[in-house]
Amino acid sequence: MGRLCYTYLTMKALLYGAVVLLICFAAPAVAGLHVVDARWRPDANPFTQHQVWDGLIWSEGWQEADQFYPKHFRPAGSLHVILANDAPEPQTLKLTHVDGEPIADVLTTPKRARRVVWQWIEPQTMSPGSWTECIVRLRTVPTKDVKLSFETDSGEAFNVVVPAKPPKIRIESVSFSPAIDRVYVYLRSLDGSNFKAGTLRVDRREVKSCTWTAAPAKSGLMLVEAPLNPKWDYGSHHLIEVDVPGLGTQAVSVRAWDCYFSIGLFGPADRESAVDAKAHGFNTYYWNSAPVLDELGLNYIPYGAAGRPRTLQQTGALFYYNMDEPDAHDVSKASESVPYMDRLGINASVEVIPRILEQRKKDPVTLNMLLVDNTYKPLNWYVYGQIADVFATDPYVPLGGEQIERVPYSLATAQDAAAPRPLVAVIWATAGTNHKWGRRFPTVEEERMMAFYALGCGAKGIGYFADYEQHGEGEGLKAVSDNAPLWEEIGKINADIRILAPYLSIGCPIPWSGDTNKVWVRALMCGRNRMVVIAVNKAHHIGFNTSTEFAWHFPAKNVVISVPLPRHFANCRVQEVVNGSLVPASGKVEKGKLHLSLDELDTSRAFVVTGYER
């Protein structure tokens, strides 16, 4: 939707057939400030009957007698406002009211669940020519347009009215080349319809030299690719705007980075362990800084903001870890007066956002990451997904007593909740000796299946938990490196991921499913001329009623996969990832689809498809 109250832009939006929203400024108007974008982002896609979380019973392993899903699961959404500063001096903003009510009266606290779950403005101070984004997470879906009231540091006030009607299009993913000299912006129409190319603006300037490439028909996905000259600095803030004829404008504030695909390990960073981990394909440690990691060329994801920042030339702190699993701690953080089912999101304002601000203060370059657990599923991913630079989640199987199918359901939902932020998937690779379930390690089949489920869901990084022993009352873990067969298999998995990483790091899941009763199939658009196809065998069952949590695994035979292709993939080359290498594979293109015949699918298989125009 066009959302600027300038006549020439309004007329332009009308010519495109967009609905125009007039932004009303309270007197006195604030000179130099204007609205770039103001939209409602709902959790549930209103343009389709099937939601990403549909098809799974989301259970909680807590002691509470009631379950959160579906009785207490109420999808809501967030308000997003991007404001630009055209004034010659800096402007500092704060949100003062929501629909006329003081923010202090509507903001959730540990003592009371209110209409606003959390809100923040980043950055609070806009330098001349820059912009800021305000996000307001609501507890319920608004029934009418929402008025947000702001105040500058000079005391001037103004209002922004955000329409309750959501746009039909959104920016689904933003990725960068390794040198940060090229940007890949993926747009998605939420009803799956095709749309025409429009206009791309970067840092409020139109980009003429961009290319628009449609994904397969009826997917509603489009790639906008553009060079960045000069290339962007690592960690710098930028604004991306896209005008689409008939669908209006979408804008997003992004952090520039090289989309480094992390293959991470939770474990102690002593020399012997780190050397062994690197030999098994790991490039990142979830650990505080250590000289041995710098020496071995391994990145790390520290708690807080410690260690040397990573650059394009040297390893270091890849992300800063925020509060661990805030959703799991929301229950205990809240007062007993807060209803049990309304406690989700308590930690956002009191722990998560303050930690991000502290990390930004100590190191304004390094991105931050927030890992969310599996409490209050599936709403937890939406409540926390739009805060940090990088979003992560850990759908542990068999720890939770659920089948492996929960891994792709969880990751697809988390991906939807966080978009366009990158997603990192952390998978179970240990044994919980004192847990009710997950007392054994994952089998080698389960580990590979979980990893490739994550890749098919669009993960931009993989983490394995964990390579250390832990003994204590009510808690116990075993080190994965002590399980020789599993440790060896993880090394092989990582070798395959390393081959796929250059494609996946600039990729975006295509809104399409090729599932059969035997196989889970997904495809990702990875730049203009490449796709990655992931197939995972579904014939696996964990017997939680057996003494050993026995795993039944049945390789699928004579599987045929049919994948829709972009129109410009008239001819294509197919390669398969085998033992850490790309090898030629056969496939047949017919009526706009690629058909792959697999004699056997044991756990998972991955293909890189390169398209050539006739």
- pLDDT tens sequence across 36-83: 999 999 999 999 989 999 999 999 989 899 999 999 999 999 999 999
Residue type, 420: P
pLDDT at site 27 = 31
Give the pLDDT of residue 614: 62
CA distances from 99 to 149, 390, 513 (A): 8, 31, 41
| pLDDT tens, position by position, 227-285 | 999 999 999 999 999 999 999 999 999 999 999 999 999 999 999 999 999 999 999 99
Domain limits of the chain?
A: 7-162, 169-255, 262-507, 536-612
pLDDT digit string, tens, across residues 534-578: 999 999 999 999 999 999 999 999 999 999 999 999 889 999 999
Average pLDDT over all residues of the chain: 92
- Is the pTM value of this prediction over 0.85? yes
Biggest CA–CA distance in the chain, Å, is 72
Check if CATH label 3.30.565 holds for domain 169-255: no
When computed from its CA atoms, the radius of gyration of the chain, rounded to whole angstroms, is 24
Predicted pLDDT of residue 471: 77
On the question of pLDDT at 23 being above 60, the answer is no
| Overall size of the chain counted in residues | 614
The pLDDT value given to residue 129: 92
Same fold, 169-255 and 262-507: no
Indicate whether 19 pLDDT > 50: no
| Residue 519 near residue 556, CB atoms below 8 Å | yes
The amino acid at residue 416 is D
Residue 30 pLDDT level (bands cut at 50, 70, 90):
confident
pLDDT at 12 over 60: no
Q: What is the pLDDT of residue 25?
A: 34
Residue 564 CB-half CA count within 13 A? 16
Buried b (16+ CB within 10 A) or exposed e, 492-513: bbbbbbebbbbbbbbbbbbbbe
Of 157-171, 422-436, 457-471, 585-599, the range with the lowest mean pLDDT is 422-436
Question: Does residue 11 have a pLDDT over 90?
Answer: no
- Of 32-36, 63-67, 409-413, 433-437, the poorest mean pLDDT is in 433-437
CATH class of 262-507: alpha beta
Taking the C-alpha atoms of residue 50 and residue 45, their distance in angstroms, rounded to an integer, is 8
Average pLDDT over residues 429-448: 89
SS3 state at 445:
helix
Answer whether residue 1 shows pLDDT above 70.
no
Burial class (CB in 10 A: 0-12, 13-18, 19+), 63: exposed
